[in-house]
Each structure stands twice: as structure tokens, then as C-alpha cells.
Amino acid sequence: MTAAIDSAKTVFLFPGVGAQQPDMFAEFRTYPEYRACLDEVSEQSGIDLHQAIHGERRDALKQVRVAQLALTATTVAIAAILRERCGLVPDFMMGHSLGQYPALCAAGYLDLGTLARVVSLRAEAAEACAGRFERGEMCWVLHVPAEVVAQEVERARADDGAAIHVSAVDAFDQATVSGEMAEIRRFAPRIEALGGLLYPLKIGGPFHSPLMAGARAQLEQALDFLPPADQPRPLLSRLVCNVSAAELPAAELKSSILRHLTSPVQWLRSLQYVADQGVTRYLEISPKSVLDYLTQRAGLPMRPLCEPQQLFGFVEQASDPARRRERFVRHCHSRLYGLRLPAVDAAAAQQLRRIREELRPRATGAPPTMAECDFLLQRVRQWLDIAEDGGEASLAMERLKLQRMYEAAGR
């Protein structure tokens, strides 16, 4: 199932570890952006990702650190191709577990080199901490309401002293628990008595739980290279943090990275948040359908732009020059006509109405030219300046998105 690209709000979704597979995204090797991202992360990490993903060392993808770096490099690359070749800049970015990190980069919070350092250090800290447990693991808990699972975990901790924690809530009836397998086995009869099922994920550690406090402490000491919290960042999209299920302020970047190690993934609540913000389209940047399944199960009014297995063909079609220009024009018209006039004074409101009136005769329905795109760019910039001068919140993200879409239209 696919949905047409229109003026509807869109979110890009990035998967976590487990989605990786040998030779994933192989078709995208024809794009220089793809090769450049793999080169940069390979140089930063000391791991040849070309060989690990597409070459003779594909068994290395079974290693957590290699898998995380591989997913990071490839999905960031495809997000860049969608932006630069297709002019697709979504309103929101979201990632499940590890997927939050490529989402951070695609949204503009971190450059790829800095992101690769963060992911590499995080993987090392998490693996070192997981190694202190005897068979630390994560298990899906299926067929029982997630809120009931949370209640049963609390009871097991209080009644039995079980060292287990809820580490993800993915759907109304799908949660994940973390702990040592011996502790999870002690917990299992509670779930089985309710008709539920526990399924080990074979991840190799009790991730996204307080049991990873050692990894958090180790990583906190190593993140002194992150940009200062008060340093402005040119963000492209709004990122929904999968720990808080709310938009992430740039000033809280470091604290969110640390919380991410020890807090549960609130995927269902994050999906509900973007749906409440008017998102009706999503695109899963993944080697296989993982998040599409969870999104459909959430029962929200959201449809995919394409299925993950159709991603390459979708990019090829969306990168057609005429389609890029049409997308830019639709975005401009949506900005100028799809919203109410900002709350500005009478003189500014009159200026905004003049911009609208100036554009009406030009809406002929003919295929847009770059001259038309140039004209629209200047008028939308003028509109944004007037709106911001009139007291509307900062429109820096909208300006940057407009510029990126214009650049793609002119490729």
C-alpha cells in the first residue's frame, strides 16, 4: 500500500537493531551520497562498512556495534538522498531504540561524524555493561495489554524482588521487558496465567532499563565533544524523542542520549503524539518492514508513502525533476494558502493578502518551471519575514526546509 505525496504532514521512521541484514540497501550504492556516508562512518569507527554490509565480512553484522553503525550510516544516507534528490523534508523524525540516532542526524541535531562517535561510544558502553550480567536479555511480551504488563512487572518487583523492567511499549498489547533470563523466567508464569507469551529477542543485554546505569555513567564521561547546549542548531525537522514521546529541545540533546540507555522506549505514545500533531503520512527507512507493522497496529489515521521494499523505486520516481518542482510548488502554496493569516497587525496582514493576490493569476496548472520556483521562493521568504516580524514564533526551521526543497527542485 502506498499513499500519494501531498501537503499532508509526514514523519520519517528509523528502525533499531534487528532490522539489519546482509547487502541491505544494495541498490542505493549507485548514489554518491550513500557511498559518502558509509565512507565517513567507516573512517570514524575504524570499521569498513562497505565490506561489512555488501562485501565478504557480512557476518560482522551480527556484532551489535557493527550493526548499529551500519544501520546508522545507511539510513542517514537514504534520508539525505530523499532530501537532496527528491526534495522530501518531513515535518517529524522518529526512531525506535537505536533508530533515534539517525533520526537526530537527519533532523539536524548532529552532523554525521559526531553521530558516528556517539553511536560507537554508546555501543561500547552498552556492551561492557551488558557483559556484567549472566544472560541479560530483552523479551517481547505479547497478547497482554501493555498497561497490564507494567502492573505485573511492578508486582513481581515488589512481591518477588525480581530485577526486571519494562523496556519498551510498542503497541497496545505488545511490550518488552529486560533483565537476566533467570529473572524473566521467574516472571513468565504471571504473564502466561493471563494468556500471554514471552519471546526472547536474543539482543544480548537488558537494554533500555535501569540495569544499564553503568553504561550511562561511562557514556556521560565521554560525551564532552557534543555541541554546547546553548549553541543554536539549524534544525530541519521536529524530532520526537522515544523516551519522552514529545519533541526534543536541542538544549536537552545530551540528557536525552543518556536517558535513552536506561529508560523504556515509548513507541506507541510517540506515534500517538505525531498523529495528534496532524501527521497522516509516514516513510519507514528500513531494510524490512518493522515499524510499518507497529504503526498499522496502533490504529492511527496514518498511511505509508511506500513500503520499505519499495523504497528504491520510490526514490527513483520522486527524484524526477518535474516531480521535484511540483513538490516545491505544492509546499509553497500550502504555506501561503493552507493556513490562516498569522496574528499580525493590520498593515502586515494587508501585505500578506497582497502576496496571495499576486500569486493567484500565476496558478495556471501548467508544469512549473524553475522561474516559477524562483518567484515562489522569494514570495514565501517574504511571507515568513512578515509573519516572524509580527510576533510569530521562530520560523528558522521553515526557512531551512524551504531552501532545501528549492535546491532539490533545481538539481
- For residue 348, pLDDT beyond 80: yes
CATH superfamily of 134-205: Malonyl-CoA ACP transacylase, ACP-binding (3.30.70.250)
pLDDT tens, residue by residue, 73-111: 999 999 999 999 999 999 999 999 999 999 999 999 999
| The three-state (H, E, C) secondary structure of the chain, written as one string | CCCCCCCCEEEEEECCCCCCCCCCCHHHHHCHHHHHHHHHHHHHHCCCHHHHHHCCCHHHHHCHHHHHHHHHHHHHHHHHHHHHHHCCCCCEEEECHHHHHHHHHHHCCCCHHHHHHHHHHHHHHHHHHHCCCCCEEEEEEECCCHHHHHHHHHHHHHHHCCCCEEEEEEECCEEEEEEEHHHHHHHHHHHHCCCCEEEECCCCCCCCCHHHHHHHHHHHHHCCCCCCCCCCCCCCCEEEECCCCEECCHHHHHHHHHHHHHCCEEHHHHHHHHHHCCEEEEEECCCCCCHHHHHHHCCCCCEECCCHHHHHHHHHHHCCHHHHHHHHHHHHHHHHHCCCCCCCCHHHHHHHHHHHHHHHHHCCCCCCCHHHHHHHHHHHHHHHHHHHHCCCCCCHHHHHHHHHHHHHHCC
pLDDT tens, residue by residue, 279-321: 999 999 999 999 999 999 999 999 999 999 999 999 999 999 9
Q: How confident is the model at residue 203 (pLDDT cuts 50, 70, 90)?
A: confident
pLDDT tens, residue by residue, 371-399: 999 999 999 999 999 988 887 778 899 99
What are the residue ranges spanned by the domains of the chain? Answer: 9-129+211-318, 134-205, 321-409
Architecture of the domain defined by 9-129+211-318: 3-Layer(aba) Sandwich (3.40)
pTM over 0.75: yes
